[in-house]
Amino acid sequence: MTRPLQHWQVLPHGKLTEIAPNILTVTGLIAMPLADLPRRMTVVRLRDGRLVIFSAIALDEDEMQALERYGQPAFLVVPNGHHRLDAKIWKERYPSMQVVAPAGAASSVGKIVPVDTTAPDFGDAGVQFIAVPGTREQEAALLVHTDDGSTLVLNDLVGNIHDASGFGGWVLRRAGFAGDTPRIPAVVKLSMVADKEALRAQLLQWAEVDSLKHILVSHGASIDHAPQATLRELADSLA
């Protein structure tokens, strides 16, 4: 299922989990034509209690109520033009949310839900929105600093699916989203990466964040071991 949802429809998902102070994440599955694709939503709580929702997933009512107890949904980040599945229904549920997209994806996202800004002001110096250099501003990321360290929230830029099997797993490995180690998917390199040097420089810049503890990706496991080294390896793959 890839067409944007028109009403609140809950697809398979897990439970919201706090992976760092003021950061929740939840994973789910999308049934694609050739493979079930794991996906991730990340929730960042700002210092005033408002929430930034990155790559939204419609959750069941118990989990939505847990999220609402956590804070007030205020920003809906649609991180590229391919992650629009739940955008419309989230905006309908929370009409006051600001819809955020990187400038290069604003036109595509705007076909599903009006984009309010490509340069959000979260009112929190610890949460940074980034249109990833080298991607024609088609891909967004967040860098979040908390008392416990820093978390980098990426979208399609890095795939890290380890448990893909069968024909669907073969498809995901061929696309570059699955494998033994994190990687920049081949399909992303072809469709989105226009300036490898600019992207490489950004990866190396993130690798210099000494407080970095977690890298969350939309498709696959979080990267919690040696995230700086992983970023350097990804940068080297572009050389």
Is the model more confident about 47 or about 1?
Answer: 47
Q: How confident is the model at residue 33 (pLDDT cuts 50, 70, 90)?
A: confident
Question: Is 32 a member of any domain?
Answer: yes
% of the chain exceeding 90 in pLDDT: 85
Residue 236's pLDDT is what?
96
Question: Is 1 a member of any domain?
Answer: no
- pLDDT tens digits for 69-99? 999 999 999 999 999 999 999 999 999 999 9
Residue 173's pLDDT is what?
74
Confidence check: pLDDT of 1 > 60: no
Q: Can you give the length of the chain in residues?
A: 239
Question: Is 5 a member of any domain?
Answer: no
Residue 177's pLDDT is what?
83
Share the mean pLDDT of the chain.
93
Domain that holds residue 91: 17-236
State mean pLDDT over 111-117: 97
Instruction: List, in sequence order, every residue forming a beta bridge with 141; answer none if it has no partner.
Output: 130
CA-nearest of 77, 86, 196 to 133 is 196
State mean pLDDT over 101-117: 97
Question: Is 10 a member of any domain?
Answer: no
CATH of the domain at 67: 3.60.15.10
Question: Is 184 a member of any domain?
Answer: yes
176: left (phi over 0), alpha (psi -120 to 50) or beta: left
pTM of the model: 0.94
Indicate the number of domains in the chain. 1
Question: Is 8 a member of any domain?
Answer: no
Judge whether 66 and 16 are in contact, CB under 8 Å.
yes
Confidence check: pLDDT of 203 > 90: yes
For residue 103, the SS3 value is: helix
End-to-end CA distance of the chain: 36
Question: Is 12 a member of any domain?
Answer: no
Phi/psi of residue 15, nearest 5 degrees? -105, 150
